[in-house]
Amino acid sequence: MFGALKSMFGGGSEAVAEAIKNNAAIIDVRTPMEFRGGHVAGSKNIPLNELGSALKSLPKNTPVVFCCASGARSGAAADMARSAGFDAHNGGPWTSVNRLMAERG
């Protein structure tokens, strides 16, 4: 059961860690107010409701890791981006992505 929840809400997967090691773009899909409250250094804030139109401005040759507060919105964002041809990953909560970034060094 834990594996299914982890899969649904992202975070901590080897694929996410590998994407981060490969200089993935980090996209935070929370609201601007949530983003201002704390975020991964160097991440870009594109709220989930604006992602569809913003995808065309992202490079398809770079992996993308999405994050949010719990992993639900970033999961929807990753699905949307994968459908558009991106190497997209659900990083889960931004705090988990932040830890992976710190481990990368």
User: CB 90: neighbour CB atoms within 10 A?
Assistant: 28
Class of domain 2-104: alpha beta
- Sign of the Cα torsion 54, 21, 100, 92 reads positive
Helix, strand, coil percent values for the chain (each to nearest 5): 50, 15, 30
44: enclosing H helix or E strand: strand 44-45
Percent of the chain residues past pLDDT 90, beyond the cut = 83
The per-residue pLDDT for 7 is: 45
Average pLDDT over all residues of the chain: 90
- List all residues 6 or more positions away from 92 whose beta carbon is below 8 Å from its beta carbon: 9, 10, 11, 12, 16, 67, 68, 70, 71, 74
Report pLDDT digits (tens) over 46-97.
999 999 999 999 989 999 999 999 999 999 999 999 999 999 999 999 999 9
DSSP for residue 57: G
Q: Quick one: angle between helices 72-83 and 2-9, nearest 10?
A: 60
